[in-house]
């Protein structure tokens, strides 16, 4: 059965960072231990109720994609036994499916987003400006319509409680330099196109995805954190896809849609989520894991 973990506790390890979902600990030899909790964030706010087993499913999906795309872009994973890195007395069963050992990289300070379909903040941007993140698009596109080509639409990286903000590619160049900005854009689109084609064969449309990158001491670029998960992507069942509406999804859009029915200002603290929405969301994560990676959650 899946475990439930709202917040990790690993005495003796130095907690470097506690994010919206992941807790990051320092390890010797310039490595990190990253634990995916069952916390859920929506509209950049961490909600009070966990989704049981979510961290385990996120980690398994990420690890699947990291393995599948290693020929495209190197990733942060280190082939290291988790058992050797956890403090003595730690419940291995609680952590083994939700934790990874990685390189310690310098994060590139942008959210690298690839969009293949016009939805979410991209749809709102298009309605106002006729484009997304300064990229002009054809007129007359409808909500959820497939774009002529996938586009790179970066955003700022927000602190916990703040909101990401879409920015232009020129803003990324100004922040990190032209060479690194182009590497990030090219890597993002390369991964998205490959993954979208793979998922399509399994009846899933990847509408968009958000990736994060880091560099090592030599300046080499790696994809890191999570990859093509329901928390960082919009997955649509291809057999239910329609242009002109927000399609049903395998990801946390299900929770977002529920939250939009509430009188909530999208600021912390977040509202409680009903048990039936939690259960349905967990089931969607499990279905995505099984359909994409052929891993069944018992």
Confidence (pLDDT) at 254: 74
Domain boundaries, the chain: 14-105, 107-264
pTM of the model: 0.91
Rounded mean pLDDT for each run of 10 residues along the chain, 298 residues in total: 93 94 96 96 90 96 97 95 92 96 96 96 94 94 98 78 74 95 98 98 96 97 95 92 90 82 92 93 91 89
Secondary structure in 3-state letters for the chain: CCCCCCCCCCCCCEEEEECCCEEEEEECCCEEEEEECCCCEECCEECCCCCCCHHHHHHHHHHHHHHHCCCCCCECECCCCHHHCCCCCCCHHHHCCCEEEEECCEECCCEEEEEEECCHHHHHHHHHHCEECCEECCCCCCCCCEEEEEEECCECCCCCCCCCCECCHHHHHHHHCHHHHHHHHHHHHHHHHHHHHHHHCCCEEEEEEEEEEEECCCCCEEEECCCCCCCCEEEEEHHHCCCCCCCCCCCCHHHHHHHCCCCCCCCCCCCCCCHHHHHHHHHHHHHHHHHHHCCCCC
* pLDDT tens profile 185-209: 999 999 999 999 999 999 999 999 9
Confidence (pLDDT) at 162: 52
Strand partners, 15: 25
| Candidates 3.30.200.20, 3.30.590.20, 3.40.50.300, 3.30.70.360; CATH matching 14-105 | 3.30.200.20
Confidence (pLDDT) at 164: 66
CATH architecture of 107-264: 2-Layer Sandwich (3.30)
């Amino acid at each position: 059965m899946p475990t439930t973990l709202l917040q990790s506790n690993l005495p003796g390890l130095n907690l470097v960072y506690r994010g919206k979902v992941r807790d990051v600990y320092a390890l010797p030899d310039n490595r990190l231990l990253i634990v995916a909790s069952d916390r859920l964030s929506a509209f950049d706010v961490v909600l009070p109720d966990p989704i049981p087993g979510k961290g385990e499913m996120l980690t398994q999906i990420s690890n699947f994609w990291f393995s599948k795309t290693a020929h495209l872009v190197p990733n942060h994973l280190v082939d290291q036994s988790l058992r050797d890195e956890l403090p003595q007395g730690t419940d291995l069963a609680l952590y083994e499916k939700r934790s990874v050992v990685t390189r310690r990289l310098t994060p590139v300070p942008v959210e690298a987003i690839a969009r293949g379909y016009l939805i979410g903040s991209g749809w709102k941007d298009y309605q106002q400006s006729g484009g997304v993140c300064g990229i002009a698009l054809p007129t007359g596109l409808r909500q959820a319509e497939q774009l002529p080509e996938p586009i790179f639409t970066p955003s700022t990286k927000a602190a916990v409680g703040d909101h990401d903000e879409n920015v232009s590619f020129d803003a990324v160049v100004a922040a990190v330099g032209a060479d690194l900005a182009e590497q990030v854009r090219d890597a993002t689109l390369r991964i998205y196109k490959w993954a979208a084609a793979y998922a399509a064969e399994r009846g899933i449309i990847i509408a968009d995805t958000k990736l994060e990158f880091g560099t090592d001491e030599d300046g080499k670029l790696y994809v890191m954190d999570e990859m093509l998960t329901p928390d960082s992507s919009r997955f649509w069942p291809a057999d239910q896809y329609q242009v002109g509406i927000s399609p049903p999804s395998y990801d946390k859009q299900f929770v977002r849609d529920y939250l939009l029915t509430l009188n909530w200002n999208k600021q912390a603290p977040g509202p409680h989520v009903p048990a039936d929405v939690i259960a349905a969301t967990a089931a969607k994560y499990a279905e995505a894991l099984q359909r994409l990676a052929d891993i069944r959650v018992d």
